[in-house]
Amino acid sequence: MTAVQLNAMHTQLLQNIGYIADDEALMRRLTAYSKKLAKEKASDPTLMTKEEYYAMLDEAEQQLKRGDGCRVPFLPRDHPRRPRPESRKVIKING
């Protein structure tokens, strides 16, 4: 999502809240629903950052190299389904 799209969505959300702000019952429903959404996101055990994900994979690779086994599913570095962030690409610079 681009910054412009995010800004438009934010503006629309604030406008919609403004429309219902004078109705106490709707504001209670909105507050309860927003709390429910926040709780669901906070309690989702599958959410992790890219850094956490790649740290987990790196730890698994180290465990395999040591012969300790692996606590997470392992995908080799050249596996097509293993995602690679731009920051991990090797760039060769001719000096």
Q: pLDDT tens-digit profile of 28-46?
A: 999 999 999 988 887 777 7
Q: Cα(1)–Cα(6) distance, rounded to whole angstroms?
A: 7
Query: Where residue 95 falls among pLDDT bands split at 50, 70, 90?
Result: very low
Statement: residue 75 has pLDDT above 70: no
Tokens of 11: 């503006």
Which of 88, 21, 95 has the alpha carbon at shortest distance from 53? 88
Give pTM, 2 decimals.
Answer: 0.43
Does the pLDDT value for residue 53 go beyond 90?
no
Residue 83 pLDDT class (50, 70, 90 cuts): low
Residue/partner pairs of 23-30 with CB below 8 Å, 24 or more apart: none
